[in-house]
């Protein structure tokens, strides 16, 4: 099977079985989404959704957040990972939105990357989710799933993964494909024990083929299988 054929099979399966996939973060506007995505770095969406209702009530707009302090914000997000750093970034983010972008979240990657707390993954999430632009955010789930299935060839960095996925996935599907891969990695192709027995992608998955070969007595180099 060629890589192009594998992509088509995988995308067709997702279109048929997961068309309605979307972010699991709770938000009502672009500002709230940006706050939630910043908080979600190395933290579960479930945890973020637990802290954001009170956070959004206390800081409903960038204007309110900007005149606050990291210490005040910290009290609302202290159950998230790295709360001290994230509190500083959230206040810095709000100030940047006011000083440079009229209080609005910008919709281009170069501007987004100038905002405190926003790296390439967060910027791409905003492009894909808030603005429905062709972008491929690569988090740990996307990175793992793409390598396992064989959509990428043992990419070493998120940027390598992003470039290869963007190359093969049609632009009109990119923002949706981001959700497909994340949710598949979160619930089926989990890190330690992927649920291959219930995975609809197994017919085209390189990892599954190697795993099945091993069970059949074929010698496999364990290092060739992504963890």
Closest alpha carbon to 140 in 210, 223, 40: 40
Task: Give the number of other CB atoms < 10 A from CB of residue 220.
Answer: 12
Angle between helices 83-101 and 30-39 (to 10 degrees): 150
Please name which of 43, 8, 2, 1 lies closest in space to residue 24, comparing C-alpha atoms.
43
State the chain's maximal CA–CA distance in angstroms: 64
H helix intervals, the chain: 3-17, 30-39, 45-58, 62-66, 70-77, 83-101, 109-112, 120-125, 140-149, 158-168, 174-187, 206-215
Active-site positions read: 121, 139
Q: Which residues contact 1 (CB under 8 A, 6 or more apart)?
A: 9, 204
Neighbouring CB atoms inside 10 A of 17's CB total 11
């Amino acid at each position: 099977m060629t890589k192009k054929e594998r992509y088509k099979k995988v995308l067709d399966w997702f279109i048929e079985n997961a068309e309605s996939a979307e972010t699991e973060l709770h938000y009502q506007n672009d500002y709230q989404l940006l706050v939630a995505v910043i908080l979600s770095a190395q933290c579960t969406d479930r945890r973020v959704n637990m802290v954001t209702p009170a956070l959004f009530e206390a800081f409903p707009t960038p204007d309110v957040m900007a005149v606050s302090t990291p210490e005040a914000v910290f009290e609302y997000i202290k159950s998230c990972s790295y709360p001290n750093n994230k509190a500083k970034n959230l206040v810095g983010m709000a100030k940047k939105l006011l000083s440079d972008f009229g209080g609005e979240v910008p919709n281009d990657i170069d501007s987004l990357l100038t905002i405190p707390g926003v790296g390439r993954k967060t910027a791409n999430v905003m492009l894909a989710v808030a603005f429905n632009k062709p972008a491929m955010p690569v988090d740990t789930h996307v990175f793992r799933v793409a390598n396992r299935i064989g959509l990428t060839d043992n990419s070493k960095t998120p940027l390598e993964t992003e470039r290869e996925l963007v190359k093969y996935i049609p632009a009109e599907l990119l923002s949706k494909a981001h959700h497909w891969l994340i949710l598949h990695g979160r619930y089926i192709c989990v890190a330690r024990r992927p649920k291959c027995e219930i995975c609809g992608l197994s017919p085209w998955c390189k990892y599954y083929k190697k795993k099945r070969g091993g069970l059949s007595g074929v010698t496999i180099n364990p290092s060739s299988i992504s963890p």
